[in-house]
Chains A and B, each alone.
Chain A
Amino acid sequence: GENVEQHPSTLSVQEGDSAVIKCTYSDSASNYFPWYKQELGKRPQLIIDIRSNVGEKKDQRIAVTLNKTAKHFSLHITETQPEDSAVYFCAASKDDYKLSFGAGTTVTVRA
């Protein structure tokens, strides 16, 4: 099955700096890569996603890049704010409903 690895497991950044989270996947058939944000005790919420026919996607301060050859994708958050503090999960899917999640990155934005 699909194996998704995510790094780093924790990330502390100064407010206003950028945060980068990286994920690798094992199944070359995967074609959909969403990112979820989960605040403590809350549900995961989709923040951005990318499909395998696209190399980069941006939505305001959030961007995702995909390198299919290397089988890795990354989340970039610019101009971080305290409300960006949360756990971020990457995921990969080829079945379109069976998401394989990374272990998560706890992001702390220091004021």
Chain B
Amino acid sequence: NAGVMQNPRHLVRRRGQEARLRCSPMKGHSHVYWYRQLPEEGLKFMVYLQKENIIDESGMPKERFSAEFPKEGPSILRIQQVVRGDSAAYFCASSPRQGASTGELFFGEGSRLTVL
């Protein structure tokens, strides 16, 4: 099992450009979660998705950020018109069923976005 795969691992963008981060969950996992980690801080919940559905996006900024998890293919976190404050590590996690308390929530290695 390859684990949760995220790409790119590192992404550099200039202000105003778009960033697309991809996450392939572990095999058999249909629940995906995105978290953001700012430097020297803990992870902050952004969004929870199942296939073709956004379950909870309460942690997503209201503008410029969107997420999807299509029927086929990876989950994508999209950031439009990036600003320097978007520089962070973005972690994806997946689980076979809803919830972390099953102990089956696995994180990917993260995508580190740097905005110049």
**Which A residues have a C-beta under 8 Å from some C-beta of B?**
4, 6, 31-32, 34, 42-46, 49, 51, 89, 91, 93, 95-104
Given A49-B103, A97-B31, A43:B91 Cβ within 8 A: yes
Supply 17 A–B pairs (Cβ within 8 Å), ascending by A. A32-B101, A34-B100, A43-B91, A43-B109, A44-B43, A44-B91, A51-B101, A91-B42, A93-B101, A96-B100, A96-B101, A97-B48, A97-B56, A97-B105, A98-B58, A101-B43, A104-B42
- Name the B residues within 8 Å of A100 (CB-CB): 45
Instruction: Give Cα A93 to B56, complex, Å.
Output: 14
Q: Which 4 A-B pairs have the closest CB atoms?
A: A101-B42, A96-B99, A32-B101, A43-B107
Which of A31, A46, A102 is B105 in contact with, Cβ under 8 Å? A46
Contact A99 B45 (CB under 8 A): yes
Which of B41, B58, B98, B108 is A96 in contact with, Cβ under 8 Å? B98
**Which B residues have a C-beta under 8 Å from some C-beta of A?**
4, 31, 33, 35, 40-45, 48, 56, 58-59, 91, 95, 98-101, 103, 105, 107-110
- Name the A residues within 8 Å of B95 (CB-CB): 97
Instruction: Give Cα A89 to B105, complex, Å.
Output: 15
Given A97-B31, A98-B48, A98-B59, A103:B42 Cβ within 8 A: yes
Instruction: Give Cα A51 to B100, complex, Å.
Output: 11
Looking at chain B's contact residues, the main secondary structure is loop
Which of B43, B59, B101 is A49 in contact with, Cβ under 8 Å? B101
- Name the A residues within 8 Å of B33 (CB-CB): 97
Name the residue of chain B whose CB is nearest to the CB of A32.
Answer: B101
Name the residue of chain A whose CB is nearest to the CB of B98.
Answer: A97
Name the residue of chain B whose CB is nearest to the CB of A42.
Answer: B109
Instruction: Give Cα A93 to B107, complex, Å.
Output: 16
Instruction: Give Cα A97 to B4, complex, Å.
Output: 17
- Name the B residues within 8 Å of A46 (CB-CB): 103, 105
